[in-house]
Structure 1
């Protein structure tokens, strides 16, 4: 830890340091922050997002190509920290982008977002938005990622029932080698866990089998994928396919599995916080993300499948997570405590 050694400071500087008031601590933790200056700065769009900066940068620069007077101030945080930042209202942001659909809905339901309507936003599918306040703009499958060498000689599971049977029959192989989200601390993990449990009773049997195998718990998909690639895991469950595709190379000893009983599709979404200083700019970025330019850039420059790529008529086992009151119900404190308690028991964490 860096320390100030006051005895070595000039007296005038020492007095200045002691006189300066302490800066107020932020109500949330920042992972990254970059300001994309425009050549003709007239306005500043403040974005708060959980998306890796390297992934989102092409979208920001394309938006600025279409809006050359806008400087974009980009702050990257986790989904929980984004929720805390918008809730605290201590720092204004013009747009908040998160993968935690339930937390985005709660912000809107608690009066912490403001409505936005345009020709483009109204054209979005009804299931992909909430009350003209939360707008999904990607459609991202949730998958399992496996180590190909670790599964050598085994029949690859196509359903959760087959995965359960495979792990039960091979405990020595999978012990300490199965990873998933820690749903107690990761908003995305809790969202996906509750959706799995709502969709199939197999979720709890799967959790119990994982619990017998010393499961490894993670904060994010990227770390699970890296541990698959490095040989520390054989199975990563409930991973964002977009991150798997962006981090894995053809030569990596890994494979993506979409479960054929069902594969959830989650939406990355945007909302305009109630205290936004430039809500019109936030709205213009929503229109960009939902419009042809943003959707094309998502498909061409990122591994995030655009909302326009999802075809409900021919989706097969793909099952979208829809905005609705069920997502809010899962955030009820009593229900959340009960669910996490059952999850901890199944995974033998208590």
Structure 2
């Protein structure tokens, strides 16, 4: 299929069959710059993201699998659309309108709900339809699904044009609920089979971050990044300070924290993060409407999983830049609200742009 409006192409092929016999499809999008993205109907997963470099090579920079079987293990959420609530909810409990809701504990050994529970949106088969420049996936999450109230109707639209992958999230509900959607792609701009992202430079439009307790739940108010290994207000290598003797790094085994983005929630996406790999010349600019970004440095990757390149994914093999609201927001009235009520629409947009320049020191 060709969309003249977007100067990009999309095609669908088969990607396997679920144990219950339902077919999984892969939608591959391509634009005029050589950027390609493959999206699965299982989990609304970004399965691959192939990006040209200044060295003339185009490589897949998204960690993942080349067969459906790998994704059914669901171990590290490679490329997944996360919902109904991305990140952690302390104790798997929250109160909404005076009623306590319990959601599955899925963050072992920590007593938290993580990424929507054991059967979150990353485990669902989504419906898909082509749109100009991309594909739109839809899902209905029933009232009580994983303990969350309200029937939620969700759409995730991936579109590709002019070197940018845009992800638009929309949701409505028939009863008060909480929503926090994100994408959990692990990126390595050297290629998904490269050893580490610790040589990548990262910059964040954030003067503050959320320190966490031993369960990786925010302690309270945001803390300044100044004078800490969490200061990426100017570009620094991810590995420059990741091994420092800082209590927050020790608790998470690296970076697994939410940065409070300058400007808070915005109506339109604005640039908030830059990731650069000097040898290939690849630079990623992340723009979003969200108030926070969770940076996860792949601390839990242990070499037991193998990607399409045939290389094992060791510690720090990829970095996730998860645009979202703050962890444990349903229990934190001082955080930006994640509540969604009937008659309102949840809207969130994140754009991964390639081909620009990273901020200078």
When Rg is computed on C-alpha atoms for both structures, the one with the higher figure is 1
**TM range, smaller chain:** under 0.3
TM-score under structure 1 normalisation?
Answer: 0.25
TM-score under structure 2 normalisation?
Answer: 0.24
- Of structures 1 and 2, the one scoring higher in RCO (CA 8 A, sep 6+) is 1
The structure in which a higher percent of residues are helix is: 1
The structure in which a higher percent of residues are strand is: 2
